Structure 1
Amino acid sequence: MRRLGDLEAEIMDRLWSWNRPATVREVVDDINETRPIAYTTVMTVTNILYTKGWLRRVKHGRAWLYTPVRSREAYAAALMEDGLGESKDRSAALVHFVENMSDDEVAALREALRNVGRQVEADP
């Protein structure tokens, strides 16, 4: 999976944070609170995200309402998977990754592994 570009990530971040459908106008207005950006630029990049499968859209009057197809967490997981794929030794890469985790992150990882283990046992 290709990492999102800066503006793509900025748009997706807003949509993930808002957790509701939004128009390009809403995204533009929010970005313009911190820096100027043209409506057409955001419209073009939002359409690109739709074409790439990152967003779904439904017509609402004359505007499109956009919502993310994948969660922020699914995106982060895909990036981690890609990172692991770059290594010839996935186990060693995982060890280095875990060595840099905080105690809270290691605890969360242990819990996730326990939960995945329960799901695998439950599946026929």
Structure 2
Amino acid sequence: MAKPDPRPPRRAQGALETQVLSVLRTADGPVTAAWVQERLDAELAYTTVMTVLIRLLEKQAVTRRREGRSFVWSPAADEAGLAALKMRKVLDREQDRRAVLASFITALPEDDEQLLRALLDQAADAPDEPAG
């Protein structure tokens, strides 16, 4: 008879990243990895939290800056901004952007398609942002 596995079940891919981002969004400003670790529900090693933060940094989902001898971390965008970043990265991996966008648009429910059209019209009517 097999012994039960004492390890907790594996999380779904990206679940830990989502948890870390959620914790970062609760902060009043940039925070340390130790601060994030203390606020996560799971008992995670500091090195695990650092690994997740570095992966999120590589995905441009968080920013960091040196403060003293350590780094402080912040979310790079809100949830909508992060979803948009993911969509852009998927699009950037494809060779035929036109086909991908056309397929995306035709698969949208009518309400979402109308919303997208309105947002595109609004963006077209907006004055250009000054270069900074």
CA RMSD of aligned residues (A): 3.4
| Count of paired positions | 113
Alignment of 1:1-124 (within 5 A): 6=14, 7-15=16-24, 17-18=25-26, 20-21=28-29, 22-32=31-41, 35-46=42-53, 48=54, 52=58, 54-57=62-65, 59=67, 65-119=72-126, 122-123=127-128
The alpha-carbon deviation at position 117 of structure 1 amounts to 0.3
Moved >6 Å (runs of 4+): none
Partner Cα distance (1:90, 1:107) in 2: 21
Higher relative contact order (CA 8 A, sep 6+): 1
Q: Give the distance between the partners of 1:99 and 1:50, measured in 2 at CA.
A: 31
Deviates more, 1:100-109 or 1:51-60: 51-60
Distance of 2:110 and 2:28 partners within structure 1: 33
Query: What is the rounded CA distance, in whole Å, between the counterparts of 2:102 and 2:44 in structure 1?
Result: 42
TM-score by length of 1: 0.61
Shift of 1:109: 1.2
Among all aligned residue pairs of Structure 1 and Structure 2, give the percentage whose two residues are the same amino acid.
Answer: 29
Counterpart Cα distance in 2 of 1:18 and 1:103: 35
| TM-score, with structure 2 as normaliser | 0.58
- Structure 1: gaps of 5 or more residues: none
Larger radius of gyration: 2
CA contact (8 A) 1:24 1:42 kept: yes
- 1:112 is displaced (CA, Å) by 1.6
Q: Describe the superposition over 1:38-75 as per-residue Cα deviations: whole angstroms up to 9, x where unpaired.
A: 233213433x2586463234649x97542123444333
Q: What amino acid sits opposite 1:39 in the alignment? A: Y
Q: Which consecutive unaligned segments of at least 5 residues does structure 2 have?
A: 1-12
Q: For residues 50 and 83 of structure 1, what CA distance do their matches in structure 2 show?
A: 16
